[in-house]
Amino acid sequence: MAFNDPIAELLTKIRNAKDAQHRFVDMSRSKMKVKLLEILRDQGFIENFLVNEEQHKIRVFLRYNKTREPVIRGLKRESKCGLRRYIGHQEIPNVFNGMGIAILSTSKGVMVGKSARDLKVGGELLCTVW
């Protein structure tokens, strides 16, 4: 099935898998998804992910705590296909008082809001994760 918004597909599949307490979730591969998953892995929201180049698939391993509660509490797509949301570096949101992250697509690449704020670059606010 073809999707118009691959980032929304990624977030929805992760949200549904964590709600059902699955160990992993499979999805189609794209460069943007790989970059977003690298950020989520580096920030500790997911365990890891594997890229299958032959089948153009990604397997994302979700992260849970000792009581089997998901580390990811919520995901929200901020900039949508119908309404793009661009912000300056002063307007980058502080998600749940620093417990979450904002992910931006800037002129220097896709990065976490804190890094964009430090580099004083704005861009498209892709999503927030907490």
Tens digits of residue pLDDT in 3-47 = 689 999 999 999 999 999 999 999 999 999 999 999 999 999 999
Chain mean pLDDT for the chain: 96
3-state DSSP call for residue 116? helix
For residues 48 and 83, membership in a common domain is answered with no
What stretches of the chain adopt beta strand conformation (E)?
24-28, 46-52, 57-62, 75-77, 86-87, 101-106, 109-112, 123-129
Q: What is the number of structural domains in the chain?
A: 2
Taking residues 43-52, report their average pLDDT: 97
Residue at a domain's end among 41, 62, 83: 62
Q: Is the pLDDT of residue 1 over 70?
A: no
Whether 37 is covered by a domain: the verdict is yes
| Owner of token pair 């620093």 | 98
- Across 42-65, average pLDDT: 97
Q: Are residues 123 and 86 both part of a single domain? A: yes
Residue 76 has pLDDT above 70, yes or no: yes
Alpha-helix runs per DSSP H in 20-130 = 31-42, 113-119
pTM strictly above 0.85: yes
Domain hosting 83: range is 75-129
Is residue 124 located within the same domain as residue 90?
A: yes
- Contact yes or no for 91/122 (Cβ under 8 A): yes
Establish if 70 belongs to a structural domain.
Answer: no
